[in-house]
Amino acid sequence: MFLITRKKNKTFIYNRSEFRTRLKRLLGFRPQNLRLYEMAFIHRSASYTLPDGIKINNERLEYLGDAIIDSILSDYLFHLYPQATEGFLTKTRARIVNRETLNHLGLSMGLDKLIVSNLSPSDSARNLYGNAMEALVGAMFIDKGFKRTRRFFIKKGLKKHLDLDAVLSAETDYKSLILEYCQKNRQKLNFTLQEKKGGNGMHQQFKITLAINNEPVAQGEGTTKKEAEQVASMNAWEKISKT
């Protein structure tokens, strides 16, 4: 992990040449806009403010990368599982982009060696590596476009550092996680059946809305009510874990 220091209102990254070397080794190409990638690895603990008041860290790139990763995975899984239901595809994507999996992916790819932070070695930042992964994808999207970013994330990230079968086989009871969260925070949890399609020989499809304190948080669909509740809980848990 790199550190950042300031002298006379200027910001310096220790081992800048090493940062560039490691970045090129990770990406497999020389970045066109290096400053974007430097920003992608500046944790908020190392934020600095420009004279015009703009704060520099990786949070905006993280926001963009989150959306790009969702798009990449939606396209990838759609073609990887041509016969899969919407519920299965949604569940699979959510398992890949959850905080634990993205943190594992970022750490496995060596992003910990690129992050600029003022955290001490004894400190632990929640979702540090997963957030850096999202910010890196956001930076690459701006620098190289969607097609190049997709190829990098799938080939150098997903296929090389993530066992998709293991991710899929690790069944998580998201409904229990949401229930425990609501009980701990003394919040009211409700599942409401919004729509039921099919019947009479057709495949049934249930649509469930999950609400916390009467505020809709997420929806889920499945071939059974239980599956739809799990998908809705998984979508809600992904939102909650990012806050």
Six-digit token string for 129: 């590596």
> Do β-strands 189-199 and 55-56 pair in parallel, antiparallel, or remain unpaired?
unpaired
Kindly state the helix (H) or strand (E) to which residue 55 belongs, with its residue range: strand 55-56
> Do β-strands 55-56 and 4-7 pair in parallel, antiparallel, or remain unpaired?
unpaired
Six-digit token string for 39: 């920003």
CA distances in angstroms from 37 to 22, 80, 117, listed in the order given? 12, 30, 14
Among residues 38, 66, 227, 229, which one is catalytic?
66
In residues, how long is the chain?
243
Six-digit token string for 141: 């999207």
66 a catalytic residue? yes
Among residues 38, 62, 134, 143, which one is catalytic?
134
Six-digit token string for 33: 């806009």
Q: Which strands sit side by side in the sheet containing 189-199, from one edge to the other? A: 189-199, 202-212, 215-222
Six-digit token string for 230: 């799990």
133: nearest Cα among 102, 158, 154 = 102
Give the catalytic positions in this structure.
Answer: 66, 134
